[in-house]
Amino acid sequence: MGRKRHGGGRRPTRSQRRPGLTGTVRLTDAGGVVETAEGQFRLTSRGVREVMNGDTAVVSLHRGPHGERRAVIENVVERAQNALVGTYGVAGPLGVVHPLDTRIKADFFVLPRDTSAADAGVGVGDVVQARIVSHPTRYESGVVTIERRLGTSDAPDVGIRCVMARFDLEDGYPAGALEEADGLALDIAEALRDPLRRDIRERFALTIDPVDARDFDDALSLSSEPDGGWRLGVHIADVSHYVAWGSSIDLEARRRGTSVYLADRVLPMLPERLSCDLCSLRPGEDRLAFTVDMRLDRRGRLRDYRMYPSVMRSRVRLSYDEADALIACDDGTSAPAGASPHVRAAAGEGVDLAGFLRDAYALSKLRQDVRHARGAVDFDTVEIHALLDDDGRPVELAARRRTPATGLVEEAMLLANECVADYLARDDVAAAYRVHEPPTPDHLHAAAEVLQGMGVVDRQQASAIASGDVRQIQRVLADTAGTPASEVANALLLRAMQRALYKPHNEGHYALGAQAYCHFTSPIRRYPDLVVHRVLKGVLARERLGAREAKLRAGHLVGAGRESLDAVLPQVCRSSSDRERLADAAAHASQKVKVAQYYADRIGERLAGVVSWIDQLGVFVRLDETHAEGLVHMSAVGDEWFDFDERALALTGASTGRRIQVGDRVIVEIAGVNQVRGHLNLGVVSLPSALRHALH
């Protein structure tokens, strides 16, 4: 513990004498950056022990060894976290909590007079959730009090519970919102009295979702036009019909911002009465929806669109695997072996599901071509998903990639989102737009430099990438597709991109090459989509029914006065962006926990992989067999000192000159795991010929 200073005669701190920029701190295991109005700057090590991820801090800028500007923490303006999860220990008369979040560089202490550990029955080595009483400063250590014991470090679900506690996530839903949801009911006749709503139950529509999905918030319909064009319908659950602005459900959904998909559970944005029942587009049941009808020509180019509230009925519920199997059928089969009962039933009624899906897939490829021609950048990413047994233990790690089925759904949703954004942006209507800014030259230059060092691009191509040439970025992704360099190229260029945000006004979407974009297609699980539904309904009412009717509907949709959507929209957008970032991080952390559990019984096994990243911590390797990523700590890389080249993402042996860089193929050994923190530790066995040589 640091010694506390008393009295008012202390000299001004450096930050008081020399104020600097204010920004948000974003930490990683290897260091961190600060996001300011003037840009993003990497943090030096000084002062990092005083901050936590998300803190608002004042920084000063200094030149680094290569002339780049680095940020130094001067003081913290606002704290983002008031709780943490860690393992409990003792240090003399003090209790000590060692944070499980390795981005936190300091331990926290429990004071002798605090009996919270004993009250909670906490023992040495237990995992606990603690509330921060005081944060660490340059002069004092941080102090916490124990809120609850999460369990021993080897409990089956303690890793996920730690993730939830670390990100301030909770199971369950407030009683008031649940009671409100239980009082809601579906009334088709009443809904159809609305002159805006259309009855399209005669139209054939289906849903395609993951096999374990329980909430189905989007459905598709498709028909061909006489001139060879298409009529595509995207039908989205009409959540705003049930959830009134300012209601208990609305306030809780606004606070959550998004559903969180952890490895072993879903923490929903809405009560299950809505998400899995009233709003879920279940097959064979009438449901309220919001429809976007789009007409496209034979080359997939958009002709026009129309949107309206609807009543629809999904005919078939497909999993992605079922849809892919139907698309792949080449024998005219409408129900392949092993098809689910509702798929066989549809085939028995003469519905050509395979033909429907092949047409949808053909249209999705046309749409990809259209987007590519206007400058969209499509990244081929791999998501690791742990398949669990009944006890929550991982039995398999599956790599999720884009398939024909996921692609056709994605393209339909992208187009519907663009149409809605275009409609709202024409008159600069305030809503929750999805904004993606162009990447910064520094980040592109770093990616280009590594790609050139790997031999993936030449100097001229690297220069074009560094200058932001979209066509060259597209070319690199296309040229490496299907090669060992594909994953590395995608990862490098994706890391160079800015993160998309929600903003009240349209500013375009760089990666999609879209002049306007918003999220409209998932109101069950994303609050910005629900905001867009509310705004769109108000605009349609004003346009088609008049200002008086629109005003009558405004209370339910967007409220009025100081608590209206207009008044809080900027904060809603900021909060939704933050909650999305948190949900993504929590989901990723939970999968890492299951990856560690999966390899816990395989210590000593040797596996092949590719170097996916290098930083001050060491060498990250993505394993071929599962695509899981582990870390070779810098101390375990070899028996010599390695110099780290930050710009080229490479290590060079001081004695031998041996070079290790992103893209190299390696043989590694499972050295150990930390199931609570989700760490997979690897050791290097051998360094075969580099991937960059195999490319030539």
pLDDT band at 342 (very low <50, low <70, confident <90, very high): low
Contact present, 379 and 493 (Cβ < 8 Å) = yes
Residue 546's contacts (CB-CB under 8 Å, 6 or more residues apart) are: none
Contact present, 70 and 44 (Cβ < 8 Å) = yes
Residue 553's contacts (CB-CB under 8 Å, 6 or more residues apart) are: 537, 538, 541
Instruction: Give per-residue burial for 661-696: e unless 16+ CB within 10 Å, then b.
Output: bbbbbbebbbbbbbbbbbbbbbbbeebeebbbeeee
* Confidence at residue 260, expressed as pLDDT on a 0 to 100 scale: 97
Strand partners for 75: 58
Amino acid at 106: A
Structure tokens at 632: 């070779």
DSSP assigned state of 274 = I
pLDDT band at 339 (very low <50, low <70, confident <90, very high): low
27 by Cβ neighbours in 10 Å (0-12 / 13-18 / 19+) ranks as buried
- Tell the residue number behind the tokens 């929590």, with chain if given: 586
CA distance 587 to 595: 12
CA distance 200 to 192: 11
Structure tokens at 210: 């993951």
* Confidence at residue 694, expressed as pLDDT on a 0 to 100 scale: 39
Q: Give Cα separations from 342 to 334, 335, 348, 356, 358 (angstroms).
A: 12, 10, 10, 16, 19
CA distance 681 to 670: 6
Q: Is the pLDDT of residue 333 over 60?
A: no
Residue 373's contacts (CB-CB under 8 Å, 6 or more residues apart) are: none
Domains along the chain with CATH numbers: 15-78 (2.40.50.140), 83-153 (2.40.50.700), 175-434+507-588 (no CATH), 438-497 (no CATH), 600-694 (2.40.50.140)
Average pLDDT (46-68) is 84
* Confidence at residue 324, expressed as pLDDT on a 0 to 100 scale: 94
> Model confidence over 67-109: pLDDT tens digits?
778 889 998 999 988 989 999 999 999 999 999 887 888 999 9
Give me the DSSP letters along 533-602. Answer: HHHHHHHHHHHHH-HHHHHHHHHHHT--GGGSHHHHHHHHHHHHHHHHHHHHHHHHHHHHHHHHHHHTT-
> Model confidence over 256-304: pLDDT tens digits?
999 999 999 999 999 999 999 999 999 999 999 999 999 999 999 999 9
CA distance 422 to 518: 9
Output the pTM of the full model.
0.85
